[in-house]
A and B are shown apart, each in its own frame.
Chain A
Amino acid sequence: MKEENFDPVIVGFFCNWCTSAAADLAGTARLHYPPNIRPIRVMCSSTVDPVYLIRALQEGADATILGGCHPGDCHYITGNYKARRRVAIVKTVLKSLGFDDTRVLLEWISGSEGPKFARVMNEYTAYIRERGPSDFKYLDSLGGEEIE
């Protein structure tokens, strides 16, 4: 069910050292990116327990982004490799149960990639807007979207 003026809510967990810095850079360079993104700064992409991603999706986010440093560039040496395994687990579980696994996005955006940050956020928001509301939203409640 696609709503007429569907405005997605996207929660982003951005690593302090790279993706958050890129968000800053995009801001100072006056690059436009959609206000649908709700950024949360975390110290490392690996501090995000996969359950937090699922939790965000359940509590009303239509999609989540986990942003970290490029492989090999992690401030804590190996954090982003672990985050990648965790995202792989979340995506596989979602897909296995018949949910849309593109609602979780893993992106490597370094501190100098302000333009890439703006581009990814624009593209992903457009993509989610196209796909419509998530059927994971409001799981375990009486309401929520009825999605075929």
Chain B
Amino acid sequence: MSENELLKKFLKDAFEKGLIEAVMAPAATQDSYTYALITKKEDVDKLTPIAPVMQWNGADMLRRITKLKKAERRMLAILRPCETRTFKELVKFNQINPENIIVLTYDCPGTIHARNYKYDKVPVEELIEEIKKGGKSDKIRDSCKVCEYPAPIPGVGDIALGLVNAKEPVFFSLSDIGKEFLAAMGIQEGSRNADEWIKMHRERREKWLEEERITGGRKGIEEFLSSCLNCHNCKDMCPICFCKECFFEDHSVFDYESSKYFNWADDKDGIRLPTDKTLFHIGRLIHMGTSCIGCGLCQQACPMDIPLYRLFGIVGNDLQKVFDYKPGVNDDIPPVMDFREDELHEFEGLLGGEE
């Protein structure tokens, strides 16, 4: 039985036992996959719990569902590990009400760039086959190749499905709710060894962090963003960019009189239009970089194929190092919501707070 069939059977059983009243999981469309919310057992067959494409971040969908009120029905959401971490991070930001939501996650086989999938439909079984052997397909997105947490983390999410190095997929719990759920389902908890597999990802990530960094100051960043359309798709797809009113959008800060434009053109020997393209990216980095999960959806959303994850992933990693913070893996408060009285003295003064 394939993994997707197994999960569908699991969902049907859960519906039958009355443990859940709704499910959110990916469902296939003609050329891609979207998230779907179902409330009936008969609809389970319309789902594809493990999809080869991540078009949206599932946590972002949960944010929409619980925006005004907690989930009214007990629902199970099937999320990838990165989406699960996003879920946790958005709970910390008070953007998702986790009440009544059970999260099921799994060893992630990675996802294919949504546009590539449209033209070359790689079945998810092929990706899963690779990770069962402890490897990873090379058709997946760049950000998936260098994923830091490709496997479920205890305490993040509720139920996990282990696939790596396991002949048969194993269920295990990540939280007390998950434990009770599996017990009620009558499923024996198993285990699998994914350490080597995770290590492989981390090694790749270290290499990537070293090699793909954007350096060179002005020249580097201007060249990197030279084909940017200023469409703000990266911001729209980013699950951490949840602000209702964005600093860079519909904001009178960026409305100027025409004389201003002409004066700038005088002073700067010509300006590029639209203005503030690079400022948008650097500003966004400053606002969300400390909580960048690393889902890579910014890069997938870019119509000009700018490898944006190199910008947000690597600078985000630097920022998270400063605050010793890993978004979404534990209950630490995000750096932008917190402060200590005695910290960061190296950023004070000209010589690092030596006075």
| A142, B269: Cα distance in complex, Å | 6
Say yes or no: A107 contacts B349, CB within 8 Å.
yes
- Which of A81, A89, A105, A108 contacts B319 (CB under 8 A)? A89
| A58, B344: Cα distance in complex, Å | 25
B267 adjacent to chain A (CB < 8 Å): yes
Say yes or no: A124 contacts B283, CB within 8 Å.
no
- Chain A residues 85-104 with CB under 8 Å of chain B are 85-93, 95-100, 102
| A127, B350: Cα distance in complex, Å | 9
The distance from the CB of A119 to the nearest CB of chain B, in whole angstroms, is 10
Say yes or no: A105 contacts B349, CB within 8 Å.
yes
| A58, B213: Cα distance in complex, Å | 22
B272 adjacent to chain A (CB < 8 Å): yes
B270 adjacent to chain A (CB < 8 Å): yes
B276 adjacent to chain A (CB < 8 Å): yes
User: In the complex, which range does the number of interface residues on chain B fall in?
Assistant: 35 or more
Say yes or no: B348 contacts A107, CB within 8 Å.
yes
| A140, B265: Cα distance in complex, Å | 11
B186 adjacent to chain A (CB < 8 Å): no
Say yes or no: B339 contacts A141, CB within 8 Å.
no
Stretch at the interface among B39-47, B52-60, B72-80, B285-293: B285-293
The distance from the CB of B341 to the nearest CB of chain A, in whole angstroms, is 6
Say yes or no: A55 contacts B286, CB within 8 Å.
no
- Chain B residues 302-355 with CB under 8 Å of chain A are 314-315, 318-319, 322-323, 335-336, 338-341, 343-344, 347-350
Say yes or no: B270 contacts A92, CB within 8 Å.
no
Stretch at the interface among B20-28, B115-123, B152-160, B216-224: B216-224
The distance from the CB of A144 to the nearest CB of chain B, in whole angstroms, is 6
A106 adjacent to chain B (CB < 8 Å): yes
Say yes or no: B283 contacts A138, CB within 8 Å.
no
B268 adjacent to chain A (CB < 8 Å): yes
Instruction: Using known A-B contacts A51-B247, A54-B283, A54-B286, determine if residue A140 contacts B222 with beta carbons closer than 8 Å.
Output: yes
Say yes or no: A84 contacts B347, CB within 8 Å.
yes
User: In the complex, which range does the number of interface residues on chain A fall in?
Assistant: 35 or more
Say yes or no: A49 contacts B348, CB within 8 Å.
no
Say yes or no: B283 contacts A139, CB within 8 Å.
no
- Which of B269, B277, B279 contacts A54 (CB under 8 A)? B279
Q: Which residues of A contact B318 (CB under 8 A)?
A: 92-93, 95-96
Instruction: Using known A-B contacts A84-B344, A92-B319, determine if residue A139 contacts B278 with beta carbons closer than 8 Å.
Output: yes
Say yes or no: A84 contacts B315, CB within 8 Å.
no
Q: Which residue of B lies closest to A65 (CB)?
A: B350
- Which of B220, B285, B322 contacts A98 (CB under 8 A)? B220
| A8, B343: Cα distance in complex, Å | 31
Q: Which residue of A lies closest to B284 (CB)?
A: A51
- Which of A84, A100, A142 contacts B271 (CB under 8 A)? A142
Q: Which residues of A contact B319 (CB under 8 A)?
A: 89, 92-93, 96
Q: Which residues of B contact A124 (CB under 8 A)?
A: 350
B94 adjacent to chain A (CB < 8 Å): no
**Binary interface profile of B, 58-74, with partner A (CB < 8 Å = 1, else 0)?**
00000000000000000
**Binary interface profile of B, 241-281, with partner A (CB < 8 Å = 1, else 0)?**
00000010000000000000000100111111001111100
B215 adjacent to chain A (CB < 8 Å): yes
Q: Which residue of B lies closest to A53 (CB)?
A: B286
Q: Which residue of A lies closest to B266 (CB)?
A: A143
Say yes or no: B221 contacts A60, CB within 8 Å.
no
Q: Which residues of A contact B339 (CB under 8 A)?
A: 78, 81-82, 84-85
Say yes or no: B267 contacts A60, CB within 8 Å.
yes
21 A-B interface contacts by CB (under 8 A): A50-B286, A51-B279, A51-B286, A58-B278, A78-B339, A81-B341, A82-B339, A85-B339, A85-B344, A88-B322, A88-B323, A89-B319, A92-B319, A93-B315, A96-B213, A96-B315, A99-B217, A105-B349, A123-B350, A142-B271, A147-B218
State the 8 A-B residue pairs at the shortest beta-carbon distance, nearest first.
A143-B269, A142-B270, A141-B268, A81-B339, A98-B215, A98-B217, A51-B283, A96-B315
- Give the interface of B toward A (CB within 8 A): 213-218, 220-222, 247, 264, 267-272, 275-279, 282-283, 285-287, 289-290, 314-315, 318-319, 322-323, 335-336, 338-341, 343-344, 347-350
Besides A49-B247, A98-B214, A142-B271, 10 other CB < 8 A contacts?
A54-B283, A58-B278, A85-B339, A87-B347, A93-B282, A97-B220, A100-B217, A123-B350, A141-B271, A144-B218
